[in-house]
Amino acid sequence: MSKASDESLVDLSSVYSEQCYFGVEISGQILLGVWYKPGEKRLYVRIIKAENLSEAADGALDPYVKTYLLPGMYKSNKRKTGLQYDTTKPVWNEILKVPVTEC
């Protein structure tokens, strides 16, 4: 399998419409790559790592990444990484695969 040719560092505060989630300020960056294979009709999202994540008020932090292929936040469009326990600098290096149907 080929790797993503480009990787991007995304600021979480630019993706989230709200600056607070359950009383925790949203902050941090995530490094990811996205590519599409037309022959397979599949979108690949490589979740590499995150940095500078906000900690919960109780200090707990077990981050994961959840993605949706829009339009619609349906269960069939959702993919999720595994948990990384007790860290503000998680490393996943996971590839999430999403089948894409034609309109």
> Percent helix, strand, coil in the chain (nearest 5)?
5, 40, 50
* pTM listed for this prediction: 0.74
In a domain, residue 1? The reply is no
In a domain, residue 68? The reply is yes
Boundaries of domain holding 95: 7-99
In a domain, residue 2? The reply is no
Q: pLDDT tens digit string along 53-97? A: 877 767 778 888 988 887 766 787 889 999 999 888 999 999 999
Q: What is the CATH number of the domain that holds 65?
A: 2.60.40.150
For the chain, the average pLDDT equals 79
* Spatial distance between the Cα atoms of 75 and 69, rounded to a whole number of angstroms: 10
